Amino acid sequence: MKITRISAYQLDLPRQAAFTLSGGRTVAAFDTTVVRVDTDAGLTGLGEVCPFGSAYLPAYAKGARTGIAELAPQLIGDDPRQVEALYRRMDGLLKGHPYVKSALDIAMWDILGQTAGLPLYVLLGGRHGQSIPLYQPISHDVPDRMAAQVKAAQEAGYARFQPKVGANPDDDIARLRAVLTVTRPGDVVVADANGGWFTHQARRFVGAMAGAPIYVEQPCAGYDECLSIRAASALPFVLDESIDSAAMVLRLQRDHAADLINLKLAKVGGLTPARQIRDLCVSLGIAMTIEDSGGGDVIAAAITHLAQATPVANRYALCNAYFLVKRHFADGVPEIRDGAVTATDAPGLGLRLREQELGKPFFSTH
Ligand code: MG
């Protein structure tokens, strides 16, 4: 089988509401890039990449599109089913830029699944358990409104919440205290600073919240700063932005730097490296939130398949954001029921493209 054409499309996917991280990083609509890979066998694979704005990870939407236009012509004629070999080829053509490769890699896996007639979760490790819980990110806001966001999500069936902190630590302590006035026994609360604190600020936050039923996620931007906060707190700890490779997982394990990681497809470079990191975490006994930096229908399907193929004890939750965008370009996306999703059994990603939704490609190899 040969790749005959690669096309890429830009879409704006409005979110249900604008979402804000610390530092005023707000995204009202995902600026996403959808990749379509056509083959001489008549199969079409779909991929997607969507940075959360330009100031979250070292990635930005126009960079994704420029990189895809750089790589795509060099992949024409290659066999899309040989995902690992093709990934090494992409690495040989473009050093770094994992988010660029992520969209292409997801599309290759979609084709492999369709060729095999199997849903991706079978190829990624087989079905583990049934439904996978979703978590509700809580946009950075004043304390009362963050508590109100939690209450609304509880009414929609969610029991896991990720309030955004990482600003003035006194205000952040007030934010978490407000959230904890509305949480119920069994609810899970992860205070995510997205690297927004200096160590003195993070130290004040974890000191004030000692003993509270919360997790702390990525308090500071740098790994070593996070490690110093980890040593100062008994709260369960999550690392996200700092963990972008298998090598960083090994470092985390050596340093006891966190109890969980957030595994984002675009951050590590797609399903091929995410599967390797997932397997490493399973071997090491590390739990994972499986998610991405943004996106819509393809990302929702891809993370559901990877999570479904991950042992229940190792998978912590999925982010709900990609399932809830207000514009769709494919059918067959797993549906949310009671704050959880289950992978579908259709081959590959299990999606049916709504071609008219994509419009004109911004790039096509011919
Ligand atoms: Mg995070």
Give mean pLDDT, residues 248-253: 98
d(CA 266, CA 57) in angstroms, rounded, equals 10
Q: What is the pTM of this model?
A: 0.97
98 and 173 in a single domain? The answer is no
- For the stretch 62-88, pLDDT in tens is 999 999 999 999 999 999 999 999 999
Give mean pLDDT, residues 300-311: 98
206 and 263 in a single domain? The answer is yes
242 and 279 in a single domain? The answer is yes
- CA 163 to ligand 1 centroid distance, Å: 10
For residue 22, the model assigns a pLDDT of 86
152 and 75 in a single domain? The answer is no
pLDDT at 23 over 90: no
Give mean pLDDT, residues 324-346: 96
For residue 294, the model assigns a pLDDT of 94
330 and 273 in a single domain? The answer is yes
Is 267 among the residues known to form the active site? no
For residue 366, the model assigns a pLDDT of 80
The one catalytic residue among 2, 62, 95, 264: 264
128 and 109 in a single domain? The answer is no
> Judging by DSSP bridges, how do beta strands 315-319 and 330-331 pair with one another?
unpaired
Is 264 among the residues known to form the active site? yes
Question: Domain span at residue 94?
Answer: 3-118+353-364
- CA 338 to ligand 1 centroid distance, Å: 23
35 and 53 in a single domain? The answer is yes
**DSSP H helical segments within 117-209, as ranges?**
120-123, 143-155, 169-182, 199-208
d(CA 97, CA 78) in angstroms, rounded, equals 21
Nearest in space to 291 (alpha carbons), one of 325, 240, 352, 351:
240
For residue 24, the model assigns a pLDDT of 86
CATH number at residue 207: 3.20.20.120
The one catalytic residue among 95, 164, 267, 326: 164
- For the stretch 148-171, pLDDT in tens is 999 999 999 999 999 999 999 999
User: How far is C-alpha 292 from the geometric centre of its chain's CA atoms?
Assistant: 2
- CA 296 to ligand 1 centroid distance, Å: 18
d(CA 154, CA 151) in angstroms, rounded, equals 5
Specify the number of domains making up the chain.
2
- CA 361 to ligand 1 centroid distance, Å: 31
60 and 83 in a single domain? The answer is yes
For residue 193, the model assigns a pLDDT of 97
- CA 289 to ligand 1 centroid distance, Å: 9
For residue 55, the model assigns a pLDDT of 87
- For the stretch 269-284, pLDDT in tens is 999 999 999 999 999 9
Residue ranges near ligand 1 (ion) with Cβ within 5 Å? 192, 240
Do 198 and 231 meet the contact criterion of CB atoms below 8 Å apart?
Answer: no
CATH number at residue 61: 3.30.390.10
128 and 114 in a single domain? The answer is no
- CA 332 to ligand 1 centroid distance, Å: 27
Give mean pLDDT, residues 13-38: 93
145 and 227 in a single domain? The answer is yes
212 and 107 in a single domain? The answer is no
129 and 272 in a single domain? The answer is yes
**pLDDT confidence of 184, banded at 50, 70, 90?**
very high
